[in-house]
Amino acid sequence: MNFPGLRAEVRCELSERIVGPDNRSHKLAHEVVAAMEEDLSIRGWPEGHLIGSVSALRQRFGMGRKACQEAITIMQTRRLINVRRGVGGGLYVSRPGLNDTAQALILHLVLSRTSPRVLRDARIAVCHIAIRSLIGRNMPFVYRDWPSIAGNESGSNFHRQLALACGNPTIVFLMDLLEELQRRYVAANPQKLDQAEIHTAPLDNALIEAIRSGDAETACDLIRDRIQTLDMSGVNRPMDQVSFDQITTFLDLKKNSGRLAGLIVEEILKHAVAVSFKLGSEWDIGARYGFTGEVVRPALRMLEDLGIVACCRGRSGGVISTQPRIGTVVRLISSGIASCGISPEQNFELSSQLVIEGVRLAAERNKSAPPSPSKDVPSQKIVNLTDLIDIENTLLDMMDNPILAIFVRSVALQSLLSKRLEDLTHFSGQMALTMHACSLEISRAIRMGETMTAVNAAKHKSELMKHEIMGVS
């Protein structure tokens, strides 16, 4: 399991920038996880492949038993490995399923106190991408069940058939994930209306006709109306005010460390406002819930990896709740995207489309609002990939849709892990200046609510990036 240290270091730095700021941890357990993640991405082992034993892992990284257990807990939370005990046991390669990914994303959205607008807009954006892809490929869309009474189930079926028709398995994966989130959100909302009373047959007919005639703008307007009609089912409450079933299931509640992590999450959610507060020392937490340090430490490392808590040393230290980071969710979705067999060209195209749709939605929200005071893109020149990532991260923040931002970062991370380091070249000087100018124009147009200007600038930048990154003129 040896690999060149420089290669791992460079790729690790880039991946940490992609998954978001303040995602770096210097604890031995996290450093081991980062090295293992890099190793697994390079080797491309299939699910179920035997990596080695726990003792071999300890020997390779010079870890003690406690640090090794913490690292294994984090890797299991990220769904990188399965641990089997007894004869034939050891560490085996794992892959997250749709259920794992949906649970992790729900946990993140709930802890972030996310607005339902974010989920609705993300669904609209992915449907827009499916429609434009479908029309661009001149593919027919035949909805087998229409006209029908559209409830949650048939709504999801309609959107999934739309995604399947466009022929891109990654779009299907993202659509399935969003529709699963919507299904759980509606099911958990006590104020939902009777969805059997919601009829979308006229919208369905008009939408299918617009797609057949190649009218992308009309089709996109209609799918927006369709989603907003279905979302009238009482889905207006912030995520943290909706009682999802088993919200902490993602934390592997079969183990004591997972159960304790779930109890800590529930304690954090009981606070009415999303502000940091002190949970106490490791000893305090163990005493409060009746667990020993052998359980507390892995639980806290798991929550640190999710960005839910920070463990501070010193007399005024202790365990502090924090705003959840997106790193683990991004990595889970990136793994799902990789399993779709996406090509570099499809990867780039999807990333560009997600950004364009996010920019479009952000600018439209600001049309009737005063100019946004949000920060502008970094002023430094684009010399290498890290500079471009910093600028893209700022633009993703300006889109004000964490789900779309997570999707873009996931696609970008999958692209990074599939590239050779020699592909990560410097940018030509003139091209870098032009891309930076496009970024400034996008940020200004978003703040001013100038939708078409923002979209056109984003499309222009996408073409420039395709030339520079993909080598396409």
| 465: pLDDT strictly greater than 60 | yes
**DSSP result, 147-194:** S-B--HHHHHHHHHHHHHHTT-HHHHHHHHHHHHHHHHHHHH-TT---
Q: How far apart are CA 99 and CA 86, in angstroms?
A: 28
* Domain chopping of the chain, boundaries: 5-99+245-327, 115-237, 341-469
What confidence tier does 65 reach under pLDDT thresholds 50, 70, 90? confident
* Cα-based angle 466, 408, 138 (whole degrees, multiple of 5): 60
> Does position 132 have pLDDT exceeding 90, yes or no?
yes
pLDDT digits (tens, 9 = 90+) for 309-339: 888 876 667 888 888 888 888 988 988 888 8
The helix/strand/coil state of 278 is strand
The answer to whether 134 and 166 are in contact (CB under 8 A) is: yes
The arithmetic mean of pLDDT across residues 431-456, rounded, is: 89
44: region left, alpha or beta (phi > 0 left; psi from -120 to 50 alpha): left
197 vs 125, more confident? 125
Q: What is the pLDDT of residue 240?
A: 59
Element (H, E) at 303: helix 293-305
Residue recorded with tokens 């993703």:
396
The residue with tokens 């209306």 is 193
CA separation (Å) from 394 to 67, 121, 349, 405, 456? Answer: 35, 19, 20, 10, 18
Buried b (16+ CB within 10 A) or exposed e, 175-197: bbbbbbbbebbbebbeeeeebee
Beta bridge partners of 91: 52, 83
Question: What does the alpha-carbon distance between residue 413 and residue 417 come to, in Å, rounded to a whole number?
Answer: 6
Type and span of the H or E element at 261: helix 256-269
Helix (H, G, I), strand (E, B) or coil at 379: coil
The whole-angstrom separation of Cα 437 and Cα 444 is: 11
Residue 228 confidence (pLDDT)? 82
Cβ-proximal residues to 174 (8 Å cutoff; 6+ apart), any chain: 126, 163, 407
Is residue 53 predicted with pLDDT exceeding 50? yes
User: pLDDT tier at 437 (50, 70, 90 boundaries)?
Assistant: confident
pLDDT band at 423 (very low <50, low <70, confident <90, very high): low
Residues whose CB falls within 8 Å of the CB of residue 70, separated by 6 or more in sequence, listed in order: 27, 29, 297, 298, 301
- Give me 48's structure tokens: 């179920």
Give the burial class of 459: count Cβ atoms within 10 A of its Cβ; 0-12 exposed, 13-18 middle, 19 or more buried.
middle
Question: Of 64-78, 185-199, 224-238, which one has max mean pLDDT?
Answer: 64-78
| Position 431 confidence tier, pLDDT thresholds 50, 70, 90 | confident
Least confident of 287-291, 348-352, 435-439: 435-439
Can you give the pLDDT at residue 409? 92
DSSP helix/strand/coil, 17: helix
Rounded to the nearest 10 degrees, the angle between the axes of helix 28-43 and helix 65-77 is: 50
Q: How does pLDDT run across 72-104, given as a tens digit for each residue?
A: 888 888 888 888 887 778 899 988 888 888 888
Q: How confident is the model at residue 122 (pLDDT cuts 50, 70, 90)?
A: very high
Count other C-beta atoms under 10 Å from residue 390's C-beta. Answer: 15
Instruction: Calculate mean pLDDT across residues 374-395.
Output: 75
Amino acid type, 424: L
Whether pLDDT at 148 is above 60: no
- pLDDT at 156 (0 to 100): 57
Task: Specify the pLDDT at position 357.
Answer: 94
Lowest mean pLDDT among 13-27, 62-76, 90-104, 247-261: 13-27
For 308, list phi and psi in degrees, rounded to 5. -90, -30
pLDDT tens per residue across span 193-228: 555 556 677 778 888 889 989 999 999 999 988 888
CATH architecture for the domain at 5-99+245-327? Orthogonal Bundle (1.10)
What region, left, alpha or beta, does residue 248 occupy, with left being phi > 0 and alpha being psi -120 to 50 degrees? alpha
Average pLDDT over residues 146-166: 64
Identify which has the larger pLDDT, 153 or 231: 231
CB 427 within 8 A of CB 384: yes
User: Shortest CA distance to 381 belongs to which of 415, 339, 428?
Assistant: 428
pLDDT value at 27 more than 90: no
Task: Mention the CATH class of domain 115-237.
Answer: mainly alpha
Percent of the chain with pLDDT over 90: 19
State pLDDT tens for residues 353-369.
999 999 999 999 888 77
Whether 433 has a pLDDT exceeding 90, the answer reads no
Average predicted confidence (pLDDT) for the chain: 80
Which amino acid is residue 140, in one-letter code?
Answer: P
Identify the pLDDT of residue 458: 93
Task: Return the pLDDT at 149.
Answer: 37
CB-neighbour burial class of residue 314 (10 A; exposed 0-12, middle 13-18, buried 19+) = exposed
